[in-house]
């Protein structure tokens, strides 16, 4: 991951970053590829630092699978230890949340 900018505003911290890998591996068939289809912005909430919320704005690439017979035509790269497919929270924040996704002490009414 390459950090582009860190900004503090209104008591929160925003980290802007992008990935720097040249090669990605299809999660379905494990075929390596360098062919980029598109780029996407992901906004991820991270563990607070000093009671300041942290948001990571991460540019990730969508790759084309190199195996024409693979059912996965394109896939988004993941950053190990940071992102989880389809999640809006970092791995660290997700690990701190109780099972079921609810915060301790909150009622689901």
Please give the chain's pLDDT, 109 residues, in tens: 889 999 998 899 999 999 888 899 999 999 999 999 999 999 999 989 888 999 999 999 999 998 989 999 999 998 888 888 888 888 888 888 766 555 544 444 3
Closest alpha carbon to 18 in 58, 73, 56: 58
Q: Locate tokens 């991951």: which residue?
A: 1
Helix (H, G, I), strand (E, B) or coil at 93: helix
Contacts of 60 (CB under 8 A, 6+ apart): 18, 19, 39, 40, 42, 76, 77, 78, 79, 83
């Amino acid at each position: 991951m390459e950090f582009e900018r860190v900004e503090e505003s209104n008591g929160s911290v925003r980290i802007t970053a992008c990935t720097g890998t040249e090669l990605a591996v299809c999660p379905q068939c494990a075929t390596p590829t360098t062919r980029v289809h598109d780029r996407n912005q992901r906004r991820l909430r991270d563990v607070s630092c000093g009671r300041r919320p942290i948001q990571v704005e991460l540019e990730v690439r969508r790759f084309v699978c190199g195996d024409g017979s693979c059912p996965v035509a394109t896939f988004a790269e993941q950053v190990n230890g940071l992102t989880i497919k389809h999640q809006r929270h970092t791995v660290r924040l997700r690990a701190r949340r109780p099972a079921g996704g609810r915060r301790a002490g909150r009622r689901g009414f």
